[in-house]
Structure 1
Amino acid sequence: MNFNSPNRGANADQPSYPTSKTSSTETNNSKMRAVVLSVASMTVGVGTLIVMLTLIAVIPLSQLIVGGYHKNQCPMNPMIDKYLIVAGAAGITTMVLGILAKTTGNAGVYYVSVLLLLGLFNFAWFIAGNVWVFKAKSKVQFDHPEDPSTYCFHAVFNCAYGNIIVTYCIVGFRCCFSCFRATARAFNI
């Protein structure tokens, strides 16, 4: 037995542990913080998924319905209603093929190739729609159909404009959410 040790007595051979509760409290706080952030991340993930799927389904359906029902009612630029019809049909096709590839577990070369081509087409068509809609925005009017150089039926133009803005919002939200998830993964949260 070492009598010069500060741990004299019966427990001299046993290791000493810190008596301070700060280290265990800090560990518990760290664990609690990690649990709270994990739950928040999962909740945001599930909530975001539901909102995103709803919006993603509503956008092409509204484009297809409004564009098809009000076909040829935008004489100032007839491509706006065509933009709605094609964007809606391509969006629904992309969604259906994506769901089929996921549910059947068959994400082979065929599905991936078709989805890639559809994605590229959707992107190019979206850019074209932006050009047609934003070019017409400054001179469009909804009250005088007898002036075809500036008239567009309000539902057609507003649907195209609104869907473009919502699409930009969704893309921005997804970028922010992806950054949040990447940060959470980087810190093992």
Structure 2
Amino acid sequence: MNTSTIFPSSDYNDVIVDTPTIPSKREQRLDKAINYFSSVMFAIQVILAAVFSGIELHYGIDYLNQCPIQPWINIFLIVHGSTKLAWVLLGIVSFFNGRVIYNMMNKKTLARSIIILILPLQLLFALWFLAWFIVGNVWVFSCKSRVQYTDPTNTSTYCQQTLYSAAYGLIISTYIVVGIVAILTVKRRVIGKTIRQRISS
């Protein structure tokens, strides 16, 4: 009686098992950044920044040299508007990276490489915005009690009313928008955390 011994196939090592890879902590942080930059909230921020940028450039350029009490108000609006416009372009790239390259094309490694380049630029923009915005506040608010709009010959106190009102209003509007965005961001995170806790429990 013939008996045959069954041995495992010698080429069992050639079988490739497709096991899901778990992202590292660094990749997880990059993924979170990508998700933020591709969110609706970020898209709204980009749109608002584009609107504010256009307004700042309009008033800063159209009313150039019409505020002798504080000539730096024009410079503040032009530089702030130009920098914000550059940030808008960077924001569009960030949004495209998250929505198209990361999600639609599923090229996660490429998207993470792009976000590594974008994040330092975003940080630099944030620091520059903060510093320049504070300086602009000083220029605008320091002459509020002395400014007048009726006598252009008195250069020590005159500023074109539309220009000054625009600069003043843009600063106040920026505070309001930043406050609303901060509240919505915190609220979204708290709600998201609550939902995740309820799902896990």
Query: If the length of structure 1 is used for normalisation, what is the TM-score?
Result: 0.69
Find 2:164's aligned residue among 150, 157, 175. Answer: 157
Residue-by-residue CA offset, 1:11-32 (whole Å, 9 max, x unaligned): xxxxxxxxxxxxxxxxxxxxxx
Which has more radius of gyration?
1
Displacement, 1:52? 4.4
Secondary structure at the counterpart of residue 136 of structure 1: coil
CA distance in 2, matches of 1:141, 1:51: 36
Q: Against the structure 1 CA distance between its residues 52 and 120, is the aligned structure 2 distance closer, same or farther, given a 3 Å change threshold?
A: closer
Matched, 1:64 2:52: no
> What CA distance in whole angstroms lies between the structure 2 residues aligned with 1:156 and 1:130?
15
Deviations 1:67-89 (A, max 9, x none): 01111111001100100000000
Q: Which runs of 5 or more structure 2 residues have no equivalent in the other structure?
A: 1-38, 102-110
| TM-score under structure 2 length normalisation | 0.65
The residue aligned with 1:95 is 88
Question: Judging changes above 3 Å, is the alpha-carbon distance between structure 1 residues 115 and 183 closer, same or farther for their aligned structure 2 residues?
Answer: closer
Which segments of 5 or more consecutive residues in structure 1 lack a partner in the other structure? Answer: 1-44
Give RMSD over aligned pairs: 2.1
1:81 aligns with 2:88: no
* Structure 2 CA distance for aligned equivalents of residues 115 and 51 of structure 1: 16
Q: Tell me whether 49-58 or 154-163 shows the greater mean CA deviation.
A: 49-58
Q: Which residue of 2 aligns with 1:34?
A: none
Which stretch of the first structure deviates more once superposed, 159-168 or 95-104? 95-104
Distance 2:142 2:189 in 1: 37
Given the superposition, is the C-alpha separation of residues 183 and 116 from structure 1 closer, same or farther in structure 2, using an over 3 Å criterion? closer
- Partners in 1 of 2:59 and 2:132 — Cα distance? 17
Partner of 1:129: 136
Figure out how many residues of one structure are paired with residues of the other and give that number: 144
SS of the equivalent of 1:187 reads helix
Q: CA deviation at 1:170?
A: 0.7
* Amino acid across the alignment from 2:189: A
Structure 1 residue 53 displacement after superposition: 4.4
CA separation in 2, counterparts of 1:64 and 1:147?
Answer: 26
Indicate the residue corresponding to 2:148 in structure 1: 141
